[in-house]
Each structure stands twice: as structure tokens, then as C-alpha cells.
């Protein structure tokens, strides 16, 4: 049986990944410090569904090096998701953002380097490493931005340009993960993820906007749009991301040492105001919103070109936004009573 360590495994992406790999017969060890609100809900979900095969360790990637050392020696794959995830928080508290994202990832790498097991490492990086894409330029339409010059998506050839402490800390980690493969011959893959959404996403104003807008509607909370709402994101449904993690494992000899962009791509883009209109017109979920100033590090548009990963592994996204958003809504409605505590 194969074994996986998922750091940050009771967070949004982690719980979906754990669910998938446990259902496929993997043994999964989760390491999480439970700092994210809602992690207990995800823990209960996994423990109820999987009475065996799952171990959850409460520990911190910044301070618990011996725990990391021990666990990394017991597994075949490490999926490193634990992170400080909000750009806004990184601006108000850059040191703890650095500690978690840069130092925490370094600690995971060192645990793997020193291990005899030498597990494969998959690292959840971010499209924020490309910064504001100033070299491309944007056109402003009535309801959305588009790339100037007809560019459809950003490839891995784009210049790195870390914006915001979050961009810097994740970007540093991204480069360390890549270099540890070159230097120490470890099997590592970096996925520069766009906006991910889906069930178990307990979005808040600072992070996870797709879920947050829907949750705000369900709990009658007002939404603030920072900027003019024309910002465009490519949305990737979480099951497609987990399928990409699996594709990395299955094709590790091809993808090891490489960096890939990973998003919904040009076929799955929405601007914030388009999404609010979709909620109102298609799902009859009107939400009260007002506008605030542009937030630091907020890209006017990001759309991933996934073709490098598609060519390397045969993977492609299977969920369009209509289907994915319907699934997220169903999960939010089914779990509304559990979420009540911290949203109402």
C-alpha cells in the first residue's frame, strides 16, 4: 500500500486530496496545526468516512521539525499544502507569512533531503509568482479585463515577479522546491495554482472568494468588491486539481524537477462582477455588495496556460464552472448548519 503525507491536510484542498487518495486505498497521514477555521469540520468528515487508513497529527511545519523528519521517512509521497494563504494577512503580518510559507517549506524539504525514504514532493505554489504581469498589459472591457495583444494564457516562460509578501514567500518556496530536485536529485514537482474552488472551501473575505461570495449570500452577509470587480480569474475545480496531483505521481519520472501552471484555463474564466451576476441571474442568489480600494498584490487578470502539464501527463480539467459551482453550492447547503457558527 502507498503512503502519503499531506501537510495542511484538513484545509480545503487537503481534505479533498485526502478523501480522494484514501478512497483509492492509500494510507494518508495528515499534519496540520488547525490554524484555519473550519478544519475541525473537515477532520470530522474524514474520520467518519475513513475509520482506518487515516492518521491526523496536530503539528506545525514551522516549529515541529522532528515530527516532519519522522513522517517524511514513513511515506512515498508528500503533498505540501500547509501555508499562510491570504495575501491580505501577508501584508499585515509578513513575518508569520514568511515563517510559514518559506521557512515551513524549507523545513519540509530538509526533512525529505535527510530521509532515507526520499518521498516525492508535490508543492502547491501559486500564480502570484508572476506578479502584476506588467509586461503583458491589460485591456479594460465593460465587465472584465482581458490580456492586451490577444494573449490567451500565461505559460511558465513568463518572468517571475513576486508581488506581496505572500507572492515572495511562496515564490521563494517554489524556487527552493525546484532547486532541491536539481541539487539533491529529489523528486519534486511545483504546481503554480490559479484560483481553486469546490466543496469544503470555507472562504472568507480575505481568501477563497468564490466560496465566500456564495456563503455571504446564504448567510445574508454583505460583500465588498476590492477594485472595480473586473478582475478575471481562471477557476479550477478542486477535483481537477487532485487529479493533477495524481497525474504527477503517476508520471513522476516525466514531471520531476519541473514547474507547471495549473488553472482552469481560458475556458473557465470569470470576473468578479460576472460571477455575482451569475449568482443572481442563474442561481437566484442575489448578494448585497459595495466597492472598496484595490488590494495590494491583486492581479487584474490571471489565466493559466495549462498546455505544458497537459502534454506531459495527458491531464485536462473535467469540470466547467457551471458544474463546479453547482457542486460547491450543494455542499454549502448540505453543511449550512455546521458553518452557521462562524458565518452568521
Task: Give the residue with the Cβ less far from ligand NAD, 104 or 324.
Answer: 104
Backbone angles phi, psi at 193, to 5 degrees: -80, 140
CA 225/CA 68 separation, integer angstroms: 39
Residues 6+ apart with CB under 8 A from 337: none
Task: Confirm or reject binding of residue 325 to ligand NAD (CB under 6 A).
Answer: no
Residues 12-41 that bind ligand NAD (CB under 6 A): 12-14, 32-36, 39
The minimum distance between CB 118 and ligand NAD, in angstroms, equals: 22
Task: Give the residue with the Cβ less far from ligand NAD, 25 or 93.
Answer: 93
Catalytic residue among 130, 166, 237, 343: 166
Q: How far is CA 296 from CA 152, 190, 205, 229, in A?
A: 24, 25, 15, 15
CB 223 within 8 A of CB 212: yes
The minimum distance between CB 284 and ligand NAD, in angstroms, equals: 26
Binding mask of the shown chain, residues 150 to 189, with x at each position contacting ligand NAD by CB under 6 A: --------------------x-------------------
Residues 6+ apart with CB under 8 A from 16: 198, 199, 200, 238, 239, 241, 242
CA 339/CA 44 separation, integer angstroms: 13
Q: Which of 3, 5, 6, 8 binds ligand NAD (CB under 6 A)?
A: 8
- In the residue annotation, 180 being an active-site residue is answered as no
Task: Give the residue with the Cβ less far from ligand NAD, 93 or 137.
Answer: 93
Task: Give the residue with the Cβ less far from ligand NAD, 58 or 114.
Answer: 58
Calculated CA dihedral for residues 91, 164, 36, 59, nearest 10 degrees: -100
Instruction: Return the SS3 of 7.
Output: strand
The minimum distance between CB 29 and ligand NAD, in angstroms, equals: 13
Backbone angles phi, psi at 21, to 5 degrees: -70, -35
CA 65/CA 99 separation, integer angstroms: 13
The minimum distance between CB 82 and ligand NAD, in angstroms, equals: 4
Region binding ligand NAD by CB under 6 A among candidate stretches 20-28, 138-146, 193-201, 335-343: 193-201
The minimum distance between CB 43 and ligand NAD, in angstroms, equals: 9
Known catalytic residues are: 166
For ligand NAD, the binding residues (CB under 6 A) are 7-8, 10-14, 32-36, 39, 60-62, 81-85, 100, 104, 124, 126, 170, 193, 195-196
Amino acid at each position: 500500500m502507498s503512503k502519503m503525507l499531506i501537510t495542511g491536510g484538513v484545509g480545503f484542498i487537503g481534505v479533498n486530496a485526502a478523501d480522494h487518495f484514501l478512497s483509492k486505498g492509500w494510507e494518508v497521514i495528515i499534519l496540520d496545526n488547525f490554524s484555519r477555521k473550519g478544519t475541525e469540520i473537515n477532520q470530522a468528515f474524514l474520520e467518519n468516512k475513513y475509520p482506518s487508513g487515516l492518521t491526523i497529527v496536530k503539528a506545525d511545519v514551522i516549529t515541529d521539525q522532528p515530527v516532519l523528519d519522522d513522517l517524511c521517512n514513513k511515506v512515498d509521497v508528500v503533498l505540501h499544502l500547509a501555508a499562510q494563504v491570504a495575501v491580505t494577512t501577508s501584508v499585515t503580518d509578513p513575518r508569520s507569512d514568511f515563517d510559514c510559507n518559506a521557512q515551513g517549506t524549507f523545513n519540509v524539504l530538509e526533512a525529505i533531503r535527510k530521509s532515507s525514504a526520499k518521498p516525492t514532493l508535490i508543492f502547491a505554489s501559486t500564480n502570484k509568482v508572476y506578479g502584476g504581469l506588467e509586461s503583458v498589459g491589460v485591456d479594460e472591457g465593460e465587465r472584465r479585463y482581458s490580456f492586451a495583444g490577444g494573449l490567451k494564457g500565461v505559460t511558465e516562460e513568463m518572468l517571475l515577479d513576486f508581488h506581496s509578501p505572500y507572492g515572495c514567500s511562496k515564490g521563494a518556496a517554489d524556487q527552493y522546491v525546484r532547486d532541491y530536485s536539481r541539487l539533491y536529485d529529489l523528486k519534486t514537482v511545483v504546481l503554480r495554482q490559479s484560483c481553486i474552488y469546490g466543496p469544503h472551501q470555507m472562504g472568507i473575505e480575505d481568501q477563497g472568494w468564490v466560496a465566500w461570495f456564495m456563503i455571504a449570500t446564504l448567510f445574508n452577509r454583505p460583500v465588498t468588491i476590492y477594485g472595480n470587480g473586473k478582475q478575471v480569474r481562471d477557476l479550477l475545480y478542486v477535483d481537477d486539481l487532485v487529479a493533477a496531483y495524481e497525474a504527477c505521481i503517476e508520471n513522476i519520472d516525466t514531471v520531476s524537477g519541473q514547474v507547471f501552471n495549473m488553472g482552469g484555463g481560458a475556458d473557465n474564466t470569470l470576473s468578479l462582477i460576472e460571477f455575482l451576476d451569475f449568482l443572481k441571474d442563474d442561481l437566484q442568489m442575489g448578494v448585497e455588495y459595495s466597492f472598496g480600494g484595490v488590494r495590494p498584490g491583486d492581479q487584474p487578470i490571471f489565466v493559466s496556460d495549462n498546455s505544458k502539464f497537459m502534454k506531459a501527463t495527458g491531464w485536462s480539467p473535467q469540470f466547467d464552472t457551471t458544474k463546479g459551482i453547482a457542486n460547491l453550492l450543494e455542499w454549502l447547503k448540505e453543511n449550512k448548519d455546521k458553518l452557521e457558527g462562524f458565518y452568521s
